[in-house]
Amino acid sequence: MADTDAFNKLELELRRGVVVLATLSQLRTPRYGYELRQALADKGMPIEEGTLYPLLRRLETQGLLKSEWKIEDGPPRRYYALNADGRKLLKRLTASWQGMNDAMGRLLDEE
Amino acid sequence: MNAHELIESYVADVAARLPRRQRNDVAFELRSLLNEELQGRAADSGREADPAMALEILQSFGRPADVAARYQPTLTIIDPVDGRPFLRLSTIGLVVIWSVGLLAYLWQPVASGGNIIGALSQWWGRVVVQSLWWPGVLVTSYGLATAARRRRPQAEVWTAKSVDRDQVNRGALSLGVVGIVCGSFALVRPSAILDIFWGGRAAQVATDALTYTEAFRHGAAPWMLALLFLNAPLLAAVVVKGRWSRTLRRLETLHGLVTSAVLTWGVLAGPVFMAPSSDRPMRFAMAVTVVWLLGDMVVRRFRGVRPAPSVAGGYGGTAASDG
């Protein structure tokens, strides 16, 4: 039981660390919240809606995303996409992530 | 409520907690997203959207207060690194305030067989309830410290301090010894202080205010005076050595314990001064001194660091058992 609790907490920490990068990676083209959540889930990174939707607003407030209301086949939806700063940040975070991923790969392969 | 009414209610709860400038826009988007979630869930399950389905989505979304908080940058009043010190200082401060207050309100009814319940009621109203100023002061202080640290992180760079807590400042301690000797003479006959300033023409009421009762003079007073005088050779020995040795620390602790016991006796035995107007503050000050002495001992006992390996360390134990 304690092991499961510890695993759940630590896995949550791991996931929290990659949520922003995963989200930014899927906003190279404009997407609205529900569509983005589906895209992430389809690629194996489900993010709870209660976490993802507020995150989009926070990233926009930080000046990394641009957004606009659009009416396409359905109700009005707010579409989010990376702006110039967001694209630069995604590039740097991607390089960082790949470096860490390689290092972790080497560390875990030692076993 | 039907499913859409549930969503409307939830959205209103979240939006009400958001800043006015983003409230309406977020509410509009959130309602749209939740409706899409509901439609998606209904399509996946192959049935019409119903209130139970909507409630499930909303509950998994989170409490409206939590969701509203996620829409904004995290606001930290007290830095997490200050969380434990804040809790510790709050607790210690409240325990001291309540204990000293309890002594102040209870000693008279206990000594004279008065109304203890009434005294407790006064203690509750005038000390316990009003003591909440202390955590308030701490929240403000830590909040300001957190803000200053964020503004100037470079000011928080660690610098080395002396770890030798036994070394003393000889000059300051020598002055302390002189102060103890002079103060002791003043305490033998406090009304003599009035003679120095008013040349023996002070009002009788002022002289009475600084005159010990017979009971105190023949009870705790000689012991208190002797203990006060004993401080002088103890501190003089520290001045000569230039530091606290283990023996001197033990003598200091013993002296502190005996002093606390004698002061407590003095507080509980009855009036110290003839006039109640000076007796009450004097006994209150004695009670505060007891709390201070004992508190200082406890703090020194538990804050000291003596690096040593833990006997039952998990790492060592695991290694041993694996082997």
Q: Does pLDDT of B131 surpass 90?
A: yes
Contacts of B283 (CB under 8 A, 6+ apart): B107, B266, B267, B271, B272
| CA dist., res. B318 & res. B152, Å (int) | 44
Residue B317: band (very low, low, confident or very high) from pLDDT cuts 50, 70, 90: very low
* Better-predicted residue by pLDDT, A58 or A75: A58
Element (H, E) at A8: helix A2-25
What ipTM describes this predicted complex? 0.82
Residues, chain B, total?
323
Q: Does residue A110 form part of some domain?
A: no
Confidence of residue B310 (pLDDT cuts 50, 70, 90): confident
Q: What is the pLDDT of residue B313?
A: 53
The Cα of A88 is separated from the nearest Cα of chain B by a number of Å equal to 22
Mean pLDDT to the nearest integer, B221-230: 89
pLDDT at A1: 61
The per-residue pLDDT for range B190-212, each reduced to its tens digit, is 777 777 777 777 777 777 788 88
A25 within some domain: yes
- Two tokens at B54? 């909507």
User: Which of A78, A79, A80 would you mutate first to test chain B, the one with the most B CBs within 10 A?
Assistant: A78
Note down the domain range covering A93: 2-102
Break chain B into its structural domains and give their ranges: 3-70, 82-150, 170-303
Residue A74 φ/ψ region, left for φ over 0, alpha for ψ in the -120 to 50 degree band, beta for the rest: left
Q: Is residue A42 part of a domain?
A: yes
The number of folded domains in chain A is 1
B60 contacts in chain A (CB < 8 Å): 48-50
Q: With respect to residue A111, please indicate whether it lies within any of the assigned structural domains.
A: no
| Residue with token string 């509980």 | B268
Torsion angles phi and psi, residue B301, rounded to 5: -65, -40
CA distance B26 to chain A (A): 9
Q: Is the pLDDT of residue B95 over 90?
A: yes
Backbone phi, psi, residue B233, to 5° = -65, -35
pLDDT in tens, A25-58: 999 999 999 999 999 999 999 999 889 999 999 9
User: Are A50 and B36 an interchain contact pair (Cβ–Cβ within 8 Å)?
Assistant: no
| Whole-angstrom distance, CA of residue A75 vs CA of residue A53 | 17
What are B271's two structure tokens?
A: 């009036």
DSSP B145-193: HHHHHHH-GGGG--------TTB--HHHHHHHHHHHHHHHHHHHSTHHH
Least confident window among A27-41, B159-173, B234-248: B159-173
Domain holding A39: CATH number?
A: 1.10.10.10
A107 belongs to a structural domain: no
